[in-house]
Amino acid sequence: MKSFLHVQDIGDLDAALKEALEVKRTPFAWQNLGKNKTIILIFFNNSLRTRLSSQKAAQNLGMNPIVLNINGESWKLETETGVVMDGDKSEHLREAIPVIGSYCDIIGVRSFARFEDRAFDYNETILNQFIKYSGKPVISLESATVHPCQAFADLITIKEHTGKPRPKVVMSWAPHPGALPQAVPNSFAEWMNASDVDFVITHPEGYELDTRFTGNARIEYDQMKAFEGADFVYAKNWSSYRDYGKILCKDRQWTVSKRQMDVTNDAFFMHCLPVRRNMIVTDDVIDSPKSLVIPEAANRVVSAQVVMKRMLEEI
């Protein structure tokens, strides 16, 4: 695997899930695979889970992880081509990336959508430069359009908890005070479409995601109708793709509460975290025994470890 952005990068999903369960059962079975290998994890944005789970996954494989926070710890990096660098950016990505590549065997990059220019974000302009100029395998740790380590962990969690071969999975938009990226819902949609689930997306008008990720997934604008008979509810806020990066709705009727959960098939509740309580989901729902948010976050070590393991096996 040269890079990890999309569901196709992992190949056969049944094989990947089988490997994930094996990694979860025996996390230290490949301690020699990563011996004398280094992974550099670059963060342009904040993180709790991704930062910790990626380091833990690397350590489980015997690898040495190095974390660099670009904002605050490193030089400010210029990302535009052909500019006169007379501002506050001391170094260009064009030098920084090959330098980072020369110090490691695998690179992970977190670089969120900026919401300045949809084409810049949706071309994955930053991540693609890492792929092009580092000469090393690159993992998206949530880049402008995707969060594949999260979606893979979500799929593992669904497979572990489902009692049926084809569960109904509902991804619901929920309100949030700030404008959030579409990366998490894009990847979740992409991975659900590739899995054997009955997938429904519900959101207010204007929150339609890029169809390159949602494909033919059913969209139901009536949240209560969407939730009927659901086995899994996956809540997430995202900003508009159409009115790029804009907040079009703040209606707290969309907050996932007992009212919606009562029409489901006693559904499990999922969220990638961090979550704003009583905005995205009410306390009683996230604190209920059906909430999977903690096991879901724990599976981030597993998904990251499978991806790193596969990359190491090809080096």
Binding site for ligand CP (CB under 6 A): 47-50, 142, 150, 272-274
Is 183 a binding residue for ligand AN0 by CB under 6 A? The answer is: yes
Among positions 23, 61, 153, 180, the unique one binding ligand AN0 when judged by CB under 6 A:
180
Nearer residue to ligand AN0 within complex by CB, 126 or 312: 126
CB of 154 to ligand CP, least distance (A): 10
Nearer residue to ligand AN0 within complex by CB, 49 or 168: 49
Q: Say how many residues touch ligand AN0, by CB under 6 A.
A: 7
By a kind-dependent CB cut-off of 5 to 8 A, residue 17 interacts, out of ligand AN0, ligand CP, none, with none
Amino acid at the residue 267? A
Given its phi and psi angles, is residue 269 left (phi above 0), alpha (psi -120 to 50 degrees) or beta? beta
Nearer residue to ligand CP within complex by CB, 138 or 226: 138
Give the contact letters, 48-87, x = binds to ligand AN0 (CB under 6 A), - = no. ----------------------------------------
From 260, 272, 153, select the one nearest 200 (Cα to Cα): 260
d(CA 175, CA 50) in angstroms, rounded, equals 23
d(CA 234, CA 251) in angstroms, rounded, equals 18
What is the three-class DSSP state of 154?
A: helix
By a kind-dependent CB cut-off of 5 to 8 A, residue 181 interacts, out of ligand CP, ligand AN0, none, with ligand AN0
From 270, 276, 277, select the one nearest 299 (Cα to Cα): 270
Binding positions for ligand AN0, 124-143, rule CB under 6 A: 142
Nearer residue to ligand CP within complex by CB, 226 or 302: 302
Nearer residue to ligand CP within complex by CB, 167 or 181: 181
CB of 46 to ligand AN0, least distance (A): 7
Q: Which residues contact 146 (CB under 8 A, 6 or more apart)?
A: 5, 6, 124, 140, 183, 186, 187, 190
What is the three-class DSSP state of 163?
A: coil
d(CA 150, CA 148) in angstroms, rounded, equals 5
Nearer residue to ligand CP within complex by CB, 106 or 184: 184
CB of 52 to ligand AN0, least distance (A): 13
- Based on C-alpha coordinates, what's the Rg of the chain? 19
Q: Looking only at Cα atoms, what is the longest distance across the chain? A: 60
Nearer residue to ligand AN0 within complex by CB, 183 or 197: 183
Give the contact letters, 98-117, x = binds to ligand AN0 (CB under 6 A), - = no. --------------------
From 165, 169, 147, 179, select the one nearest 234 (Cα to Cα): 169
Q: How far apart are the first and last CA of the chain?
A: 9
CB of 271 to ligand CP, least distance (A): 9
Residues near ligand AN0 (CB under 6 A): 142, 180-181, 183-184, 272, 274
